[in-house]
């Protein structure tokens, strides 16, 4: 925090209400006023800048530097990751691999409810665990559209499905980072174990919710065996991993296991009624050789291999102080401020995806590097506005952090005493709504959660886990997630509509996490 004060009105309640204006205004802009996402983001950036500058007395240089920091991070690493992921997807389409992938899925089942479980839930969770940062939503939503789902519908379903995996995205970093914050009595393993008291309930429920959203209770009844196979395989496996191994593989292994078990199950069982939505015609199932299948899926397992390498501690160590590749990191201070920025040019996840794309081009005879470069330019053009929106959102988040608004909100909620566990997940929801990242959320609010836990006599690891779970529920409506989803399905400008579609589910899941955390606080 760089501001002169966090309680400008000498009344924490009033200061917290003012600090909450950017969040409330953002929700109003996207729901009541139905503004385009980019317009809402830019308006809120201006309002937040004025609040931080005039009310919280953040110096002009630091205020401008905060916006600059957010803009830089919006482009790199987040924009970098998004463009690389979309580029890889477009390469798969251009090369014809995507048609084989789609055909192989249809070969498992032509029922769109089962396709949703395979792609919207299982493959979504796998990509979240391997890459995170919007990659699963961007890729899986488009894949669902190719299978006959409507654009905004596909985006909504992928956002909701992501609620089952967001806590352990990008090799478990959201939970793993809590062990690096020096919190008293809190380790990442303790948070991982404590999350197993809440997340499995949500994870088991989400496949039911997904099917209900497209085919109601009738659909749940008709494909109940497949839902139970998916929910049980994923939930039990993830629960065991989070308790006995840790957060790093808590998405990757369960999602692959659930997808494999479901695919094998569907070879023996299919619903009596094949469900195909509205105008979407049933796609013809194709038969492909094992070699064709391996080649078609190669962009994604190549992606996984590179991302896993980038996540190995020994590889990460190359970029730390004294490491062999330390010099590849660009560090500087934003002029006119005290805010430092570090750009990890090679160690960024986007570089791992870039290499996967280059390998895919190099191993695809029908695709030249020149054509690949043209596809890359198309991806940049398509995502220019969404990335600008993300830059504005992160500018708001940095202003709230450096200006003390997030601390004010945290301190205000923490004054509620024994009722705090009921409100604890709301802090996480706020953190992810503003930053779009569960990692950033835990960095911001995990210390407040842990401190509050010690003060009120509640297990601090429970509250940090609640902060994580509450944050995951905000990913359904985070402006950053919404921007990525609408851009991926070709619906840029319809952010308000998508927000309205997902908001009630975000709030509903958040209410459950709040109540359940409060119940658990009596036992921990």
Residue 111 lies in a domain: yes
Percent of the chain with pLDDT over 90: 39
Can you tell me the mean pLDDT for 171-198?
81
Contact 396, 45 (CB under 8 A): yes
- Residue 18 tokens, joined: 């003012």
pLDDT value at 285 more than 70: no
Question: Count of domains in the chain?
Answer: 1
Residue 459 lies in a domain: yes
Q: Give the tens place of pLDDT for each residue, 406-459.
A: 778 777 877 888 888 998 999 899 888 877 778 777 876 777 788 778 778 889
Contacts of 419 (CB under 8 A, 6+ apart): 518
The DSSP line for 182-246 is T-TT--HHHHHHHHTTTHHHHHHHHHHHHHHHHHHHHHHHHTHHHHHHHHHHHHHHHHHHHHHT-
- Confidence grade of residue 108 (pLDDT, cut at 50, 70, 90): confident
Can you tell me the mean pLDDT for 92-113?
82
Can you tell me the mean pLDDT for 117-128?
90
Considering 43-47, 243-247, 309-313, 408-412, the range whose residues carry the highest mean pLDDT is 43-47
- Between 29 and 248, where is the model more confident? 29
pLDDT value at 361 more than 90: yes
Contacts of 246 (CB under 8 A, 6+ apart): 172, 176, 188, 189, 192
Q: Which residues pair with 341 in a beta bridge?
A: 332
- Confidence grade of residue 281 (pLDDT, cut at 50, 70, 90): low
Residue 2 lies in a domain: no
- Confidence grade of residue 392 (pLDDT, cut at 50, 70, 90): confident
Can you tell me the mean pLDDT for 233-254?
90
Residue 403 lies in a domain: yes
- Domain that residue 505 falls in: 12-163+170-379+387-520
Q: SS3 string of 309-327?
A: HHHCHHHHHHHCCCCCCHH
Can you tell me the mean pLDDT for 250-270?
91
Residue 180: what pLDDT?
59
Q: Give the tens place of pLDDT for each residue, 481-496.
A: 898 889 888 888 888 8
Percent of the chain with pLDDT over 70: 96
Residue 1 lies in a domain: no
pLDDT value at 374 more than 60: yes
Residue 23's nearest CA partner among 10, 7, 35, 40 is 40
- Residue 210 tokens, joined: 């997904």
Candidate from 67-71, 109-113, 311-315, 506-510 with smallest mean pLDDT: 311-315
Residue 278: what pLDDT?
61
- Confidence grade of residue 29 (pLDDT, cut at 50, 70, 90): confident
Residue 474 CA, chain-centre distance (Å), reads: 9
Residue 6 lies in a domain: no
Residue 252: what pLDDT?
83
Contact 63, 3 (CB under 8 A): no
Residue 415 lies in a domain: yes
- Between 514 and 185, where is the model more confident? 514
CA terminus-to-terminus distance, the chain: 31
Average model confidence (pLDDT) across the chain:
86
Record the pTM: 0.77
Residue 298 lies in a domain: yes
């Amino acid at each position: 925090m760089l501001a002169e004060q966090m309680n400008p009105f000498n009344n924490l309640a009033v200061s917290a209400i003012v600090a909450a204006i950017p969040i409330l205004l953002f929700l109003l802009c996207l729901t009541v006023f139905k503004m385009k996402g980019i317009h809402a983001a830019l308006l809120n950036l201006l309002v937040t800048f004025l609040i931080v500058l005039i009310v919280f007395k953040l110096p002009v240089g630091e205020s401008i530097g905060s916006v600059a920091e957010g803009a830089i991070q919006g482009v790199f690493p987040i924009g970098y990751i998004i463009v690389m992921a979309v580029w890889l997807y477009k390469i798969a389409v251009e090369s014809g691999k995507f048609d084989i992938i789609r055909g192989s899925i249809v070969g498992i089942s032509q029922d769109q409810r089962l396709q949703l479980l395979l792609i919207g839930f299982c493959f979504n969770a796998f990509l979240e665990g391997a890459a995170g940062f919007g990659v699963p939503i961007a890729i899986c939503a488009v894949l669902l559209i190719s299978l006959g789902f409507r654009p905004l519908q596909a985006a909504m379903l992928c956002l909701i499905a992501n609620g089952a995996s967001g806590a352990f995205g990008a090799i478990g970093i959201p939970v793993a980072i809590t062990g690096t914050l020096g919190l008293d009595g809190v380790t990442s393993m303790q948070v991982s174990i404590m999350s197993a008291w809440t997340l499995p309930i949500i994870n088991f429920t989400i496949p039911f919710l997904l099917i209900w959203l497209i085919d109601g209770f009738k659909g749940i009844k008709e494909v109940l065996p497949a839902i139970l196979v998916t929910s049980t395989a994923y939930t039990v496996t993830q629960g065991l991993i989070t308790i006995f191994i840790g957060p790093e593989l808590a998405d990757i292994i369960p999602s692959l296991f659930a997808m494999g078990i479901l695919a094998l199950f569907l070879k023996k069982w299919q619903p009596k009624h094949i469900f195909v939505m509205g105008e979407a015609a049933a796609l013809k199932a194709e038969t492909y050789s094992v070699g064709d299948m391996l080649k078609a899926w190669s962009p994604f397992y190549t992606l996984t291999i590179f991302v896993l390498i980038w996540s190995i501690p020994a590889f990460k160590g190359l970029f730390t102080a004294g490491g062999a590749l330390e010099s590849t990191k660009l560090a500087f201070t934003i002029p006119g401020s005290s805010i430092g920025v570090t750009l990890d040019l090679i160690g960024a996840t986007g570089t791992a995806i870039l290499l996967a794309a280059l390998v895919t081009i190099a191993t695809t005879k029908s695709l030249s590097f020149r054509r690949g470069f043209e596809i890359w330019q198309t991806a940049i053009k398509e995502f220019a506005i969404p990335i600008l929106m993300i830059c504005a959102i992160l500018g708001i988040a940095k202003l709230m952090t450096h200006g003390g608004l997030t601390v004010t909100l945290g301190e205000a909620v923490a004054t509620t005493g024994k009722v705090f566990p009921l409100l604890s997940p709301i802090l996480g929801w706020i953190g992810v709504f503003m930053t779009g990242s569960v990692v950033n959320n835990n960095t911001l609010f995990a210390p407040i959660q842990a401190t509050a836990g010690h003060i009120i006599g509640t297990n601090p690891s429970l509250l940090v886990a609640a902060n994580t779970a509450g944050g995951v529920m905000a990913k359904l409506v985070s402006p950053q997630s919404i921007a990525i989803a609408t851009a991926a399905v070709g619906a840029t400008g319809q952010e308000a509509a998508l927000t309205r579609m997902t908001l009630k589910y975000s709030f509903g899941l958040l209410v459950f996490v709040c109540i359940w955390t409060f119940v658990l606080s009596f036992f921990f």
